[in-house]
Structures are given as C-alpha cells and as structure tokens.
A and B are shown apart, each in its own frame.
Chain A
C-alpha cells in the first residue's frame, strides 16, 4: 500500500459507512442522495485500492489513462453537485423571501407623519 492508498482508502471507507447509515435513517430524496454518495465512496475505495481497474474501465470508454477517467467522473459529479446546491439555495431563498414578505405585509403600518389634513389619505 502506498501513502495515497493509506490516506484515501480509509477516507472513502468512512464516507461509505456514514452514507450507508444515512440511507438507513432517511427517506425520499435525501435517501437517494445518500445512496449515490455511498456508491461513489465505495467506488473510490475500489479504484484507489486497485488502480489498474480504473485503467481497464477507462479503456471501455475510449480514454487512455485511468487517472483521466477518474478526473472526468469527478468533474461530472462536482458539476452535478453544484447545480443541485444552486437550486437548493434558490429554493431556500424563495422560501425566505416569502416569509419576510408575508411578515412585512402583515405588519404594514400607516404613518400619520404629522401631516395635517392627510387623514383622508389613509387607504
């Protein structure tokens, strides 16, 4: 085992275990995401433990080096995660906006402003 494997195999293994726990404890979309994370981490354990495997796999896709294949897969996963995060933040922002807006409208106050003869202006 080289240094890279000593560091990353346990890291991926722990991630896989944590992901598995989350799969068992959650439901719906969160469970699906945890399952994808678990599978990805298990894939990481296998690919880091047996580097030749990634090269064999990469050739199936017409990519020469296994490392390149891993980078491409990694970039795709990161891109997907960014889009997912962006949409999630967007949804949260929309909810927060609705909450603040409702609160603002419910607590709207008419300011008399000390102006004379403007009472009829109050809608």
Chain B
C-alpha cells in the first residue's frame, strides 16, 4: 500500500507519541506501515515494552528519559521530523483509536484546499463505542476551547491532525500534558494560517477508555490552561 501514495509517502512523517502502549502500538505500526514509511515513535518514558515493540518495526524511535506528557512527545516528534525535511506531518495516537485510512484523507484535504492544518473530528466522522460521558466532556471541551481561542471547532481534542511543515513550525508547544490539544488550537488561531476540520473515525475499546483521560480530569486541564493564560 506504500505504493498507493507513491512519492508522497516520503514527504509525510507520522508522529506517534507513545506512553505504555506495548499492547496496542504493534497493530498501529503494522497498519500505518502499509501506507507510510516515515514514522517517528516517541516513547515518552514508558515503563513497559513500548520501545521494544516499536523497535521491531522500521521506524525512527526517540526516547524521552522520563515521562513528560503527550504534548511534549508530539513537539519532540515535530522537531525531529522538521529537522529531517518533512513536508507534511501527521500526529497519530498510539492506542489504536484512529483509522490509518483517515491519514490519506486528511492529507488530500490539506493539499486540495491549500491548508496548513486539517484537524480530525470524530463528530464530523464516526465513533465506535464512545460512552455518553466522554461525548459530553468533549463537547464541553469544544466550548471551552471556543471561549479561550475564539475558534469554532466540532472536536478540539482529537489526536489525529495533519499539517504542513510551515504550520508545524508555528506550533512550538509548551504544554507538556493533555492541555496541548487546546494549545494547538490556540496557536493555529494566533498564527492566522488556514485550517479546516475533516471527519475521522475514532474507535473506543475498554482498553483505550481505561488509558484515556477521565472526564473529571478535564476540569483540571481547563483550570491549568486558564492559569497559564493569566500568568503568561
């Protein structure tokens, strides 16, 4: 399937932040490698076999000496990919929530409409097994992001995003934790670069729900973002 995207595959770097994903990352890498050959896995200080599993595949492996958070891992991956001459960068979760087929769709949209960012939206696409509480939390997150950044989105916290090198260079994420999702929207807003959303599929399984953010934690994230905004 790498052939399907031909030369474009060499211009696209997939950035995968991974923390304790030993049981899930194997399938993700195997599926992505069918279509894409520039993959960067950032092992964010995992205490399990994530790095060893990733090393079984032809990917670039970067290891954080300690767990910093998903935002920090994404920024590390972006900096590495840009230094290697990436033209397009896609962020992709390591837990198997995303459909690898969506990567091509986001990139097609990015190119066709001359955008710098295409953000995946599960509410424009499809979800499998999403609990009601998660849906409500995400909706509140969208509202919060809209108030904070003034950007109207349907899904502000989706890990699947495609961006140009120019767009990626403007991000410069400083929020190490899950707050980075709102920070990305904020940076896109201030950069003035063109962006759009595109429907993607997000699959929820008992494992991904166990690993994912608790709804209650969203309040903590919102508080931290507000404090950062006030003190910056």
Contacts and interface: CB of A to CB of B under 8 A. Distances in A.
Interface of A: 83, 86-87, 93-94, 96-97, 100-101, 103-105, 107-115, 118, 121-123
A56 B38 CA distance: 73
B60 A108 contact: yes
Contacts of B57: 111, 113, 115
B204 interface: no
Contact of A105 (B10, B54, B59, B80): B80
A100 B84 contact: no
Interface string B59-78: 11111111010001001100
Contacts of B80: 105, 108
Interface in B9-26: 10
- Residue in B10, B37, B59, B174 whose Cβ sees the most chain A Cβ within 10 Å: B59
Interface of B: 10, 33, 37-38, 40, 42, 54-66, 68, 72, 75-76, 79-80, 83-85, 174, 176, 227, 231
B137 to A, nearest CB: 26
A97 B176 contact: yes
B124 to A, nearest CB: 32
Nearest to A114: B56
A104 B64 contact: yes
A94 B174 contact: yes
Contacts of A109: 55, 60-61
B99 to A, nearest CB: 22
B76 A104 contact: yes
Given A86-B231, A94-B174, A97-B176, A111 B72 contact: no
A100 B59 CA distance: 20
A94 B79 CA distance: 16
A86 B38 CA distance: 39
Nearest to A109: B61
Contacts of B38: 121, 123
A111 B63 contact: no
Nearest to B33: A115
Contact of A104 (B33, B42, B56): B42
Q: Which 4 pairs across A and B sit closest by C-beta, in order of nearness? A: A121-B37, A113-B58, A113-B57, A118-B58
A111 B84 contact: no
A111 B61 CA distance: 7
Nearest to B84: A123
Nearest to B67: A100
A100 B63 CA distance: 9
A79 to B, nearest CB: 12
A113 B55 CA distance: 6
17 contacts: A86-B227, A105-B76, A105-B79, A108-B40, A108-B60, A109-B55, A110-B60, A111-B54, A111-B57, A113-B55, A113-B56, A113-B59, A115-B33, A115-B57, A115-B58, A118-B58, A122-B58
B54 to A, nearest CB: 7
Given A108-B60, A113-B59, A118-B58, A97 B72 contact: yes
A123 to B, nearest CB: 5
Nearest to B65: A100
A116 to B, nearest CB: 10
Interface centre among B40, B72, B227, B231 (most CB of A within 10 A): B72
Contacts of B54: 111
